[in-house]
Amino acid sequence: MPVAFSDLFTRRRKEEPPEVVDGPGQPTKALDRFLAGLSGRTAPVLLDLGPVVGSNVTFFGQEVGCKILVEDLSKDIDRHVTEGKLDDLPRFFDTRFPQESETIDGILCWDIFDFLDKAAGERLARQLKRVLRPEGMLLAFFATAEPRPATKPTYTKHVVVDRGRLQHKPYTAARAKQRPLLNRDIQRLFEPLRITENFLLKTNLREVLFRKPPKPQADA
Amino acid sequence: MWKRDESVKPASGTVTPTGPAVQSQQSSSSASQPEPRPQTGRDVVNIGKSVVIKGELNGSEDLTIEGQVEGKIELKDHVLTIGPNGKIKAQVFAKALIVLGEVHGNVNATDKVEIRDGGSVDGDIVAPRVAIADGAHFRGSVDMQRKGPEAAAKPQAQPRPAAQAAPAAPQTPAAQVAQSASR
């Protein structure tokens, strides 16, 4: 049966997996800047809002020499969904972080804001801005494409391969990604933090690096 | 066969005093001497499943816990292993900690902490090396002192600011667990 060359290529394209999961990792631009921002500090404290990834703990511990606090918010979201208490999520975030104000040097939000609606996102952002130290860094990823309703909801475990690469490992989520945030929404959400880097990757992922402005010095 | 036995007998007699623990156990079973002490510095003591200890546990040898311990565990120069059935609600000080069971409490290790698949730690970890396997549960903070000349120059300087920056006593992960449980 004769097959046209073009048919061969289209077939191959269809067979390709939609997303590389266990490959060598996908590029990240912002992580390196984030680490650079933390490197000058003595004994920085890092807050990781993703699931516990052993290799990440080792990486950040050795690379930055920091203390790492792991607060897996995906579990909190799942619990609220399964208990049918999603409306309580914004209030829950008000008391979720026991850390004192301005004690954290860096926050890794990963893509957690994609899974929150506006109210919950605002309350979470408020808490993160509170705990972040002046000149502290916050790294967050945002999807730019509308979530496909048919697909099974998944969170992404971001495994650091090196300073320039992340491995994205999906795992089952109780809640799907919400509508993507626009640039100005992101900016407003984190005000008064300043966006220092904003990368739109080929994977349609937006990596945004924020910095908390220094405290205004009182005139003597 | 017979020749072999003859050759073994004198050999066992000579090996017993200097040989390692395992060999000396074999020789003690064959010989009719009073039991030579098989213990060396590397012996591992096991706390069985049914044992419950409340209070302070100190030791100078490696220890495996399969039972329950509440309070404080100090094995400063030795390896503490929490077996799959082990449940610890204690502050732990050890050279190395290997967790296959459950630990609730803060952990201080001078060498390393390993949380293996199925292991669970709720608490703050301070150790130069920390390995958390996929499938392990961990909630708390990890403080790894940076290795290298900087760290060697000021070994005491790092933990202090981190401790200051860390939440106050009621805000430890153990407290967080309690809070979340109450919710």
Return the pLDDT at A176.
87
Query: Is the pLDDT score of B19 beyond 50?
Result: no
- The answer to whether A54 contacts B115, with C-beta atoms less than 8 Å apart, is yes
Mean pLDDT throughout B104-109?
Answer: 96
Return the pLDDT at A218.
65
- Are the C-beta atoms of B173 and A52 separated by less than 8 Å? no
Return the pLDDT at A146.
82
Candidate from A52, A65, A72 with C-beta closest to B144: A65
Return the pLDDT at B156.
38
- The answer to whether B143 contacts A58, with C-beta atoms less than 8 Å apart, is no
Determine contact: A100 vs chain B, CB below 8 A: yes
Indicate the domain borders of chain B: 44-155
Q: Which residue has the higher pLDDT, B148 or A120?
A: A120
Query: Is the pLDDT score of A81 beyond 90?
Result: yes
**Burial of residue A83 (number of CB atoms within 10 Å: 0-12, 13-18, 19+):** exposed
Mean pLDDT throughout B42-57?
Answer: 85
Query: Is the pLDDT score of B18 beyond 70?
Result: no
Query: Is the pLDDT score of A63 beyond 90?
Result: no
**pLDDT digits 0-9 by tens, A170-205:** 998 888 888 888 989 999 999 999 999 999 998 889
Return the pLDDT at B158.
36
Least confident of A37-46, A150-159, B28-37, B80-89: B28-37
Least confident of A117-126, A186-195, B18-27: B18-27
Least confident of A4-8, A57-61, A101-105, B135-139: A4-8
Mean pLDDT throughout B48-57?
Answer: 91
Our CA-based measurement puts residue A99 at a distance from the nearest CA of chain B, in whole angstroms, of 5
- State how far the Cα of A199 lies from the Cα of B121, in Å rounded to an integer: 36
Return the pLDDT at A219.
57
- State how far the Cα of B69 lies from the Cα of B55, in Å rounded to an integer: 8
Return the pLDDT at B119.
94
Mean pLDDT throughout A73-94?
Answer: 92
pLDDT band at B17 (very low <50, low <70, confident <90, very high): very low
Return the pLDDT at B28.
39
Q: Which residue of A has its CA nearest to B129?
A: A58
Return the pLDDT at A143.
92
- The answer to whether B130 contacts A58, with C-beta atoms less than 8 Å apart, is yes
pLDDT band at B68 (very low <50, low <70, confident <90, very high): very high
Q: Where are the alpha helices (DSSP H) in A40-117?
A: 54-64, 73-82, 89-96
Q: Determine the residue among B120, B126, B144, B171 to mutate to test chain A binding: the one whose Cβ has the most chain A Cβ atoms within 10 Å.
A: B144
**CATH number where A74 lies:** 3.40.50.150
Return the pLDDT at A216.
78
If one counts the domains in chain A, the total is 1
Mean pLDDT throughout B16-25?
Answer: 35
Query: Is the pLDDT score of A220 beyond 60?
Result: no
Pairing of strands B137-143, B120-122: parallel
Omega before A98 within 30 of 0, i.e. cis: no
- State how far the Cα of B172 lies from the Cα of B141, in Å rounded to an integer: 9
Mean pLDDT throughout A159-165?
Answer: 92
- State how far the Cα of A197 lies from the Cα of A139, in Å rounded to an integer: 9
Return the pLDDT at B32.
42
Return the pLDDT at A23.
53
Return the pLDDT at B146.
59
- Are the C-beta atoms of B39 and B62 separated by less than 8 Å? no
Domain extent for A90:
30-146+179-211
Give me chain A's average pLDDT, please.
86
Return the pLDDT at B112.
93
**Burial of residue B146 (number of CB atoms within 10 Å: 0-12, 13-18, 19+):** middle
Instruction: Let me know if residue A190 belongs to a domain.
Output: yes
